[in-house]
Amino acid sequence: MAEYDLTRRISNYLDKHLILPLLEYISVKNVRVMYFIKASQVYDEDSLLKSKLDVLMRTSMLDYAADTYQTLYNNDVPEDFSGKRAAVLDRIQSFEVKLEPVKMIFSPETMKEVAQCKNAKDLLSSLETKYNFKTEMLDDLFDAARLFYDIGNYNTASEYLRIVRQLVTPGSKRHLEACWGRLASEILVQNWNEAMDDLEKLKEAVDCQGDDRASPQTCLMQLQQRTWMLHWSLFVFFNHPQGKEKLIEWFMQNPTHLNAIQSLAPHLLRYLTVCVITNTDKKKKSLIRDLVYLIQQESYSYRDPVTEFLECLFVKFDFDGTQQRLRTCETVLPNDFFLTGCYEEFIENARLLMFESFCRIHHSVGISMLADKLNMDVDSAEKWIVKLIRDTRIDAKIDSQKGLIVMGTQKVSPYQQVIERTKTSGTCAHKLLERLRWEKALDSEWVLSGTIT
């Protein structure tokens, strides 16, 4: 299923440290496939190790890189490893000396004061007066955070970046860099509550870049930054308890984020589709309708079994095609780093959507035929349908003697139909307005550049 693997594409938008968990996951899956399932590997193990070594050599995690080198080549590491390692240790010791006065200033009591103060300039002035804090110390903190992050000491890097982010002016380049580093650090230590807060702060930092200077260059920079941010957000949304609902809000209901997905990252529709299908909100039907429209719009640039599942079911009404896509999804999801934990929930809800579609189209359905469409055996399908009717109170009965499911009739009032069809019109109008503003800004830049030329 390498053809549906998004690791390479997603890695283009990730920091090198964030790529490593994805490579580790693929390695573990490879071992499991080879030794327990006795099937062919998705990727060659040596190519995975080479990729991992290539990523590690761009960091300062030299011990990890040395272990990977020895595993790959079954040989001692080159001599220059020792020199690089010694240089990193010297830098760490140098920063330890530099940061000694800074650590004295930022005691637990001072950190409470830092957390309570909302104005960076006032806070910096207060620290200068009370503790003789100097702006050079802020630079040292940031450089040290970058070093500790690079060697894999993410907790220390996160703590330093929290101080830097609080002391620099929002909207500045240093503030934005601190937001990125802090989010990456919290993701890598799997502190999901903090990571969710940091993700919101990063969003605010990216948004405020264009507050006073919404030039086309700034719009392009924000578009690129948002695309990277949406990829990083996958780590948070698929691990935080409220993450899937938040992903739908970010990816689907935020016009600027949706523009980034449509422009640069249509492959993120896979993750949006899984979240919508597994969603239990009352608005699920309208979400599916909007998502299907979005999938159709982007089908020329991206499609995979997950997005095609909805397209076959709700656009083409091709139940054979839907069945084939669902079978493929049973292989695709377990091999996706972000979606492996959603596998059972997705399959259950996907079957439910298929069952509901059958109910709307047919007055009666054979259990054996439905079992085949749902990729289940007849006994399991009958038990599943009985439980579904009991739990969801679907107006249907099972005729065990004839092996049929008989549907009841359910009429929808014209008023309800009007409400369902028009309640998303406000959001659609807002999306259209944002798109027009974006195109107008680009047109202005082209006219300006033509005039200058």
pLDDT of residue 3: 84
Greater confidence, 369 or 42? Answer: 369
Share of the chain above pLDDT 90, in %: 50
Q: Are 247 and 272 in contact (CB under 8 A)?
A: yes
pLDDT at 6 > cutoff 70: yes
If pLDDT is split at 50, 70 and 90, which confidence band does 210 have?
Answer: low
407: three-class secondary structure by DSSP = strand
If pLDDT is split at 50, 70 and 90, which confidence band does 400 have?
Answer: confident
pLDDT of residue 34: 47
pLDDT at 306 > cutoff 50: yes
If pLDDT is split at 50, 70 and 90, which confidence band does 213 have?
Answer: low
CA distances from 411 to 293, 405, 416 (A): 25, 19, 10
If pLDDT is split at 50, 70 and 90, which confidence band does 101 have?
Answer: confident
pLDDT of residue 379: 83
Q: Is 385 exposed, middle or buried (0-12, 13-18, 19+ CB in 10 A)?
A: buried
Helix (H) or strand (E) holding 375: none
pLDDT of residue 201: 95
Taking only the tens place, the pLDDT of each residue in 332-378 is: 999 999 999 999 999 999 998 988 887 777 777 788 887 887 878 88
Segment 259-284 mean pLDDT: 93
| pTM for the whole structure | 0.84
Closest CA to 434 of 229, 232, 222: 222
Taking only the tens place, the pLDDT of each residue in 165-201 is: 988 888 889 999 999 999 999 999 999 999 999 999 9
Cα 127 off chain centre by: 38
How far apart are the two ends of the chain, measured CA to CA in Å?
50
Taking only the tens place, the pLDDT of each residue in 55-100 is: 999 999 999 999 999 999 988 888 888 899 999 999 999 999 988 8
Range in 11-25, 58-72, 435-449 with the lowest mean pLDDT: 435-449
pLDDT at 427 > cutoff 90: no
Helix (H) or strand (E) holding 22: helix 16-32
203: three-class secondary structure by DSSP = helix
Average pLDDT, the chain: 85
CA distances from 103 to 108, 125, 168, 227 (A): 10, 18, 18, 36
pLDDT of residue 38: 43
Segment 235-253 mean pLDDT: 95
Taking only the tens place, the pLDDT of each residue in 137-148 is: 889 999 999 999
pLDDT of residue 80: 87
